[in-house]
Structure 1
């Protein structure tokens, strides 16, 4: 007998987020194949998946109590992660669905009444975010779910409300081809709406114990798009004709306000279309995620610079991507292989698309060579993260190249530098250009670590005793404090003394409960405007490792 929940606590909400990731992973190709609006670039499923993964990562650092029982804390973390990690038009709108849950889940549990309010708030936020809402899109499907549950009996249990929302969304999805001409011509339903159905079905699965059974919403065999091309392809001239714009521009805006964001929206609407601007709802230091399709990417970025402080700028050229899709792949795309310590860190790197070689203990040259060969790719970019000396890397590279592989070792000395490099990795670039961009990102990331001294030793800043907290910048001890948290805070001040916008923290296996939270709170209080992301790494020696960008 499956348990049916009458309310969702933090643990169940966290399970829902993971179920959403799993569901989109299974349907990602289907959703990408449905993607014809606003441009047929076949990435809606990919964007939804990246956004959801960012949401889950933001909730991972919550304390055991919060993640276990406090639905409000989990909802806020999911929304914050989704906004800052939003990818594409659909990802930005999805972030507002999660924000709707965050703003209405004000207690430790989410019940039927809260779900009704959450869907209504999510629908309102999505409509506000999209500059020109179109019938037949994810916004329409979301509104149908919100309207349906609003009409449910006030005494209806959570299981009924959740099921009604998912069924209403699925029914609305089937109507989208008759509401949006480009969908009808292609014989498909809206891709973003399909993703929303997956997400609501995942909620039903968590609440009721089983997800609704639904058929794939694929186009009929042989169905063609309005352009006359097969739906699953995306030739460059077709994309340009459909979209009328060459670039997708996305970035995050901080240190701004509603008036300047409104001005930014107007500027972007004059430059292009598909303008979506979403906020994280924070009162103290709000962040907005901005999305636009335009022919003047530089103008879109300049408009953002006038609105506030920009970071995480991403520019995609539709025409170039579509042209690449037309070129047959003669070799598989290159792989990124990272040496990683800790189980949670390994999972994090895999989520970012990297192949992982675990270094819990030590890594031998033979193990690295085997891992390179195991990628199955001709081009391999390796992030060694200080696991092997330079002479061993040179020897491994020579052996790998003897197998007709092109191997590039990047100068990364830590996992946080490797994460920075992965963030700019782009298989669409030439290998040399990609390696250069990744190397720059790694080199620009100042990094430090916090550990406990296990013996008495003479360091650059004095003598440490067993049990002292040691703060290292790179491989040099620069802080000795008897109190470990104090050592971490002093270390943060030293590294952030040269400036920085983003601090990424990886918690080690021996980190005490609340260590990451205390250090993060210290950073935000002493260094306003600096964004902090905390992840579980599970590395054995460092209590925490952090990088500053």
Structure 2
């Protein structure tokens, strides 16, 4: 009879699971042929489980640091599982990592509702399957179900997982052709073996390694929405898009699934309680991000090229227009809060739309039309404008304009996106590059309170200087320079290479010089650039790349 999954067992599982995944990481990457032969399933599973295990180092997730009454040990085990699930959601990598995060979440929920191993594994299997838009047998979902069945029957879930893993080549044509087991299924089997061992049972050895596919084996490209034993399904997917999404409305999540499903394949959405992890393979990365904008607030957006049939990025095989084709002019439309920023955008070749005029879909659509371009990248430069920008882009597409929203939440993110914009690059690649640059830019702001108000940093009074980080009030002070330094200290704590300072119309004289000296004194390797933004709603805008 296995031991209970108490706090000590959870810690043992983390240690054993990490060790097992690391040992099999290279093998999983080598045999990764489904759903995309991109050779990263092992890496993604390792990084996702590492993120989950690291959550136990947080004080709130590590109650066992002090002596605990035995009766509370199992309760803390459940709390630790929930911490792992949340951390995996935040750190999920790729298709397999997103499924694993949801598996852990279902396991934690089963632990809370019942406490028994069978309930945990059944809850995990159900949650993982529910997260996948079009489940396929012969994958980690099959292994999850087999382990749950065995646990409910009083058997050995690790042995059942091994047996299910060995059968995966007979369930997926891509695996059969390559002569390998499913890479994600191998990773989950390794974790289940580690769990069984952590509960004090003898874990069976994993099946003998399959030879990885050689050069003569075609890189399989099979969509997970296809039949279990069918031939490869043609796909237009060129990009892997992942993001975290804040959304409280269940109807918005249903609408998101409905919008993303026709765009591509490998759609997985996991999470709950207002926070979701979204993964999809698509041909139009911008459309996938815009679907998130319509559903809530997407952030931590990651976009990567998928390999094509020969294993090369698709962009390498579609380098430009056909000979004799008429080039399509491209434009960037940026919403800006000040005339100085507008001049910067115009100097960079973008059309600038003053923020007070950008509150409506009609105004944004008019700016897109006025650009006269067939391809337009739209920079809303404010989270409150994302939804209206997405609607304007939809309307522009109905008029034959290829329009994509770069999800910039601040003007400094827009500057970062503009800095990497290349109009002679393929539109999709330009959108991906601009989105990545914006997402890699942290943003802050220093402004003056106009009235008494409750903030996340406490109660402020009219005239107080507020320091905001990523849109939230982080501190309240009385001097612009000191608050700006405190904001910079917080923003540079995780590291950075470039600080951008955008001075407002009411910025104190000498502020830029003082802040440049502050950055130089504490961060020798960090460069600083200063712009006169002349915006009236903030004394200072800060960006850290």
- 8 Å contact from structure 1 (residues 256, 309) kept in 2: no
Distance (Å, rounded) in 1 between the aligned partners of 2:471 and 2:91 = 16
Q: Distance in 2 between matches of 1:297 and 1:326?
A: 13
2:284 pairs with 289, 296, 308, which one? Answer: 296
- Relative distance call for 1:322 and 1:308 in structure 2 (3 A) is same
1-side partners of 2:460 and 2:136: how far apart? 47
Report the equivalent of 2:137: 135
Matched position secondary structure for 1:277: strand
Q: Distance in 2 between matches of 1:492 and 1:199?
A: 50
What is the CA-CA distance between 1:228 and the residue it aligns to? 9.4
Q: Please tell me whether residue 274 in structure 1 is matched to residue 280 in structure 2.
A: no
1:323 partner SS: coil
| 8 Å contact from structure 2 (residues 110, 124) kept in 1 | no
Match of residue 14 from structure 1: 11
Q: Does the residue aligned with 1:204 lie in a helix, a strand or coil? A: helix
Which deviations, in whole Å up to 9, do the C-alpha atoms of 1:211-246 show, x marking residues without a partner? 4323443227869534599xxxxxxxxxx9864411
Deviation of 1:295 (Å): 0.4
Tell me: CA distance 1:142–1:503, structure 2 relative to 1, closer, same or farther (3 Å): farther
Give 1:82 shift. 0.9
1:66 CA displacement: 2.5
Is 1:60 matched with 2:57? yes
Distance 1:289 1:228 in 2: 26
| TM-score, structure 1 normalization | 0.53
Q: Does 1:187 align with 2:193?
A: no
CA distance in 2, matches of 1:492, 1:33: 57
The 2-side partners of 1:217 and 1:210 are apart by 20
Change (3 A) 1:87 1:443: closer
Q: How does 1:399-478 map to 2 (within 5 A)?
A: 444=442
Query: Aligned Cα RMSD in Å?
Result: 4.2
User: Does the CA contact (< 8 Å) of 1:495 and 1:548 recur in 2?
Assistant: no
1:205 aligns with 2:205: no
Contact 1:186/1:224 (8 A) holds in 2: no
Determine the C-alpha separation between the residues in 1 that align with 2:108 and 2:473. 24
Cα distance in 2 for partners of 1:492, 1:79 equals: 36
| Partners of 2:33 and 2:219 within 8 A in 1 | no
For the structure 1 residues 149 and 93, does the alpha-carbon distance in structure 2 shift closer, same or farther, using more than 3 Å as the test? same
When residues 263 and 207 of structure 1 are mapped into structure 2, their CA distance, relative to the original with a 3 A threshold, is same
CA separation in 2, counterparts of 1:98 and 1:301? 26
Conserved? CA contact 1:66–1:73, under 8 Å: no
Structure 1 unmatched runs, 5+: 153-160, 230-239, 328-435, 448-472, 474-487, 505-532, 535-546
Equivalent position of 1:258 in the other structure: 250
- Cross-structure match for 1:318: 306
Report what 1:498 is aligned to: 468
Match of 2:502 in 1: none
Q: Tell whether the 8 Å contact from 1:187 to 1:223 is kept in structure 2 after alignment.
A: no
> Structure 1 residues 221, 40: closer, same or farther in 2, change over 3 A?
closer
In 2, the alpha carbon distance for the partners of 1:287 and 1:308 equals 10
| Cα pair 2:31 2:182 within 8 Å, conserved | yes
Alignment of 1:39-188 (within 5 A): 39-63=36-60, 66-67=63-64, 69=73, 70-106=76-112, 114-152=116-154, 164-188=156-180
- State the alpha-carbon separation in 2 of the partners of residues 61 and 492 from structure 1: 31
1:166–1:200 contact (8 Å) kept in structure 2? yes
Distance 2:467 2:174 in 1: 53
Map of 2:427 onto structure 1: none
Report the CA distance between 1:444 and its aligned residue. 3.1
The count of corresponding residues between Structure 1 and Structure 2 is 334
CA distance in 2, matches of 1:496, 1:53: 37
Name the residue aligned to 1:27. 24
- Superposition misfits of 4+ residues, deviation over 4 angstroms: 220-224, 226-229, 240-243, 324-327, 436-443, 488-497, 501-504
